[in-house]
């Protein structure tokens, strides 16, 4: 909200009272997008796109896997640019403002409106999707909820807190099973489907990966409104155990 008010103040001095379209300058685009989320429709499909201050960007669209790319501002052209995994070059758009609304514009793109939400707002927990969604959401945000009934009678062997890679507080729980027990695979799939329903449009990946036979792991990651959730299935041959790990890492306060 503070960034939007500041940007509106800049534009107020740059335009007459009569409403007219304004092409944002490079520094105005950076103020508008950096650390925030754009929300709109692209080719008729709702989307959300987060612009990290580190130059990373995540594009999330309902029904598809989210995509991680990069973004930057071209100061000479006064345009926003992005590049995605399958792109060979950066693609740019102008950002226009008209009567308080923002639009993406390029030679190949007609004015396409979008709204800017402050902070990371890729997904919102859908706590109505399943009763356990509210439990997971509360737990991931540091609440008092416990995950004792996530897999029925199978309670976590351990839960705790630590500092994540970003420096923010991380919470984790681990459930143990006999080595490569079929129930572990089934519970892992059930948890993945539950999280996908709880956090609509959440990013997910990486696929099954073999670490060092007889050890292996399968990792899934979900971007939430206030941080990230990751779940992994790990076989530990030396321990003759299989574990499901669930980790929640919040955003580092600025």
Q: Tokens 């939400």 correspond to what residue?
A: 117
Q: What is the pLDDT of residues 3-57, one digit of tens each?
A: 444 444 444 444 443 458 899 999 999 999 999 999 999 888 899 998 988 898 8
pLDDT band at residue 214 under the 50/70/90 scheme: low
Return the structure tokens found at 138.
């509360």
Q: Rounded mean pLDDT of 67-86?
A: 93
pLDDT at 17: 38
245: Cβ contacts below 8 Å, ≥ 6 apart: 172, 173, 174, 230, 231, 232, 234
Residue pair 63/46 in contact (Cβ under 8 Å)? The answer is: no
pLDDT band at residue 222 under the 50/70/90 scheme: confident
Sign of the dihedral defined by the CA atoms of residues 20, 22, 28, 33, in that order: positive
CATH 2.40.128.640 spans which residues of the chain?
2-117
- How much of the chain exceeds pLDDT 90, in percent? 32
pLDDT at 9: 43
pLDDT band at residue 221 under the 50/70/90 scheme: confident
Residues 234, 152: Cα–Cα separation, whole Å: 20
Question: When comparing pLDDT for 202 and 229, which is higher?
Answer: 229
pLDDT at 130: 65
Sign of the dihedral defined by the CA atoms of residues 204, 208, 212, 213, in that order: positive
Question: When comparing pLDDT for 249 and 181, which is higher?
Answer: 181
Q: What is the pLDDT of residues 183-197, one digit of tens each?
A: 998 888 888 878 877
0.85 exceeded by the pTM? no
Residue pair 157/236 in contact (Cβ under 8 Å)? The answer is: no
CATH number of 2-117: 2.40.128.640
pLDDT at 142: 74
pLDDT at 210: 43
Cα dist. 127→26, 119, 132, 194 in Å?
Answer: 39, 21, 8, 11
Residue 225 has φ and ψ, to the nearest 5°, of -65, -35
pLDDT at 220 over 70: yes
Residue pair 102/80 in contact (Cβ under 8 Å)? The answer is: no
pLDDT at 131: 67
- Average pLDDT value for the chain: 79
Q: What is the pLDDT of residues 126-157, one digit of tens each?
A: 655 566 777 787 788 777 567 777 777 778 88
Cβ of 38: how many Cβ atoms within 10 Å? 23
Q: 39-53, 72-86, 215-229: lowest mean pLDDT where?
A: 215-229
Residue pair 178/254 in contact (Cβ under 8 Å)? The answer is: no
Residue pair 61/127 in contact (Cβ under 8 Å)? The answer is: no
Residue 165 has φ and ψ, to the nearest 5°, of -60, -30
Residues 177, 16: Cα–Cα separation, whole Å: 68
Residue pair 94/105 in contact (Cβ under 8 Å)? The answer is: yes
Residues 47, 138: Cα–Cα separation, whole Å: 25
């Amino acid at each position: 909200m503070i960034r939007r008010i500041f940007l509106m103040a800049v534009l107020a001095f740059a335009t007459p009272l009569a409403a007219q379209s304004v092409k944002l300058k490079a520094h105005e685009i950076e103020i508008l997008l950096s650390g925030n989320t754009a929300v709109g429709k692209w080719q008729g499909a709702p989307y959300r796109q987060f612009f990290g201050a580190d130059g990373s960007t995540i594009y999330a669209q309902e029904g598809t896997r989210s995509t991680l790319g990069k973004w930057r501002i071209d100061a000479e052209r006064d345009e926003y640019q992005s590049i995605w995994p399958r792109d060979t070059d950066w693609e740019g758009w102008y950002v226009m403002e008209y009567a308080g609304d923002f639009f993406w514009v390029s030679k190949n793109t007609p004015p396409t409106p979008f709204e800017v939400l402050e902070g990371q707002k890729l997904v919102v927990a859908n706590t109505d999707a399943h009763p356990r969604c509210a439990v997971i959401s509360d737990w991931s945000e540091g609440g008092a909820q416990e995950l004792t009934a996530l897999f029925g009678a199978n309670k976590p062997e351990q839960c705790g807190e630590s500092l994540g890679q970003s420096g923010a507080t991380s919470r984790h729980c681990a459930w143990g099973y006999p080595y490569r027990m079929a129930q572990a695979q089934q519970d892992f799939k059930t948890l993945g489907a539950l999280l996908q329903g709880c956090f609509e449009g959440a990013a997910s990946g990486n696929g099954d990966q073999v670490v060092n036979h007889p050890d292996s792991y399968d990792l899934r990651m979900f971007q939430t409104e206030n941080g990230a959730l990751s779940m992994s299935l790990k076989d530990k041959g030396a321990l003759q155990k299989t574990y499901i790990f669930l980790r929640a890492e919040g955003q580092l306060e600025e």
